[in-house]
Amino acid sequence: MTKPLFDPIINRFGTHCAKWDKMEDIYGVPAKDGIAMWVADMDFRPPAVVQAALEKMAEHGVYGYFGDESDYLAAISWWMKHRHGWEIDPAWVFTTHGLVNGTGLCVDAFTEPGDGVVLMTPVYHAFHRVIKAAGREVVECPLALENGKYMMDFDAWDAQMSGKERMLILCSPHNPGGRVWTRAELEAVAAFCRKHDLVLVSDEIHHDLVMPGHTHTPMALIDGIEDRLVMMSATTKTFNIAGTHSGNVIIADAKLRETFAARMAALGISPNSFGLEMATAAYSPEGAAWVDELVAYLDGNRRIFDAAIAEIPGLTSMPLEATYLAWVDFTDTGMSREEFTARVEKTARIAPNHGPTFGTGGENYLRFNLATPCSIVEDACTRLKEAFSDLQ
Ligand SMILES: Cc1ncc(COP(=O)(O)O)c(C=O)c1O
């Protein structure tokens, strides 16, 4: 019997990786027997087609500047059309050094110091960091919790707008919380941006990691937003090549594109050859087949994890419609944040992300990365059940 592609445990210690090599320093979770479930990368190798692209480069052995993006642009156009039903013009695509970089460039290009940037919180922590570091103000619009899922709350958010807001950064699908926003929700986001005159930056980095039964709608397919939309995507999350620091910022509107291009030029940003060669290989039928297997595997891990969490009174895992990042609410344990965090980190020896870094609404949560062999997820489940066994 062939072993599933993602079952083997690959030792990542000693590879200068953030997730495992920094775990003990940052969390005090011992490298000896700890489980790293924080940084959002996967403990899997990319598809063979991506590995082969890198091997070809290594075999050639000359690592000069990257010069011709045509293959890459053809590959990304194919991917967007075949996987997401979106026809792009290759001229709309900028290649940045990842999407945190892309976010920083957008903030820099489309807002001024002191402007407000709207986030639907809790949301990916780096957005907060980048906005604040750029001297802009984070305007937190809290998501509402309805039947255990995050929902947008435009009535409350309308009342919050002061007029100094210039941009909204949408995370679609949403991290953390794993929502796949519906078309109706995305239409409402577009209307909100028009009403408050906001540039909409739609970070769709998780768009390929959508669980069975759900469909991601690219923001670009929503009417009436094209003149204020910046879409961001990447191969890095989907294919686990985040170390290549490559991302796409895709802008259909000519005026926004000109402004963005000027910032790219001013900062001297040009493509990373490793990132582009690997991404070109990834955006292919072979890459697509691998992603289908990956998503099925992640769905299995999610089921294992959710079943275990459901057995621990007081813990609730948000149903993941997308991403491999489980968002667990500890509120009903009645414990302080210090206590439930200590039980996870010190007793269970698991390093998760801390909820408060995702902004308002994240206070009583921890985020667990499930993109690891299922035997590790099972081990984590056993440890969590033991760490909270007095609640059973
Ligand atoms: C929503 C979102 N955007 C961006 C990133 C990181 O992007 P990059 O590694 O390209 O900077 C992440 C990583 O987890 C993410 O979840």
Mutate to test the pocket of ligand 1, among 37, 205, 239, 357 (most ligand atoms within 8 A of CB): 205
Largest CA distance in the chain: 62
Q: Is 124 helix (H, G, I), strand (E, B) or coil?
A: coil
Angle at 126 between CA 26 and CA 153, to 5 degrees: 125
Instruction: Give pairs for 49-57: CB < 8 Å, separation 24+.
Output: 49/281, 49/282, 49/284, 49/286, 49/287, 49/290, 50/239, 50/241, 50/278, 50/281, 50/282, 50/287, 52/281, 53/277, 53/278, 53/280, 53/281, 54/274, 54/277, 54/278, 56/277, 57/273, 57/274, 57/277
Residue range 84-112, pLDDT digits in tens: 999 999 999 999 999 999 999 999 999 99
Report pLDDT for 309: 98
Residue 378: CB atoms within 10 A of its CB come to 14
pTM of the model: 0.97
Q: Which residues of the chain have pLDDT under 50?
A: 1
Distance between CA atoms of 318 and 323, rounded to whole angstroms? 12
Tell me if 40 CB under 6 Å of ligand 1. yes
Residue range 357-376, pLDDT digits in tens: 999 999 999 999 999 999 99
Tell me if 171 CB under 6 Å of ligand 1. yes
- 126 CA to centre of ligand 1 in angstroms: 8
Distance between CA atoms of 95 and 248, rounded to whole angstroms? 5
6 in Cβ contact with 373 (< 8 Å) = yes
Chain CA centroid to CA 241, Å: 13
Mutate to test the pocket of ligand 1, among 99, 210, 233, 358 (most ligand atoms within 8 A of CB): 99
Residue range 156-190, pLDDT digits in tens: 999 999 999 999 999 999 999 999 999 999 999 99
Report pLDDT for 328: 98
Residue 322: CB atoms within 10 A of its CB come to 25
Bridge partners of 202, per DSSP, are: 170, 231
202 in Cβ contact with 231 (< 8 Å) = yes
Supply the DSSP string of 363-388, one letter for each residue: TTEEEEE--S-HHHHHHHHHHHHHHT
- 205 CA to centre of ligand 1 in angstroms: 7
Report pLDDT for 1: 46
Chain CA centroid to CA 285, Å: 23
- 99 CA to centre of ligand 1 in angstroms: 6
Residue 355: CB atoms within 10 A of its CB come to 23
Distance between CA atoms of 306 and 320, rounded to whole angstroms? 9
Mutate to test the pocket of ligand 1, among 17, 124, 232 (most ligand atoms within 8 A of CB): 124
Tell me if 115 CB under 6 Å of ligand 1. no
CA dist list (Å): 294 to 198, 257, 275, 374: 36, 34, 20, 12
Assigned token pair, 11: 């030792």
Q: Is 34 helix (H, G, I), strand (E, B) or coil?
A: coil
Tell me if 236 CB under 6 Å of ligand 1. yes
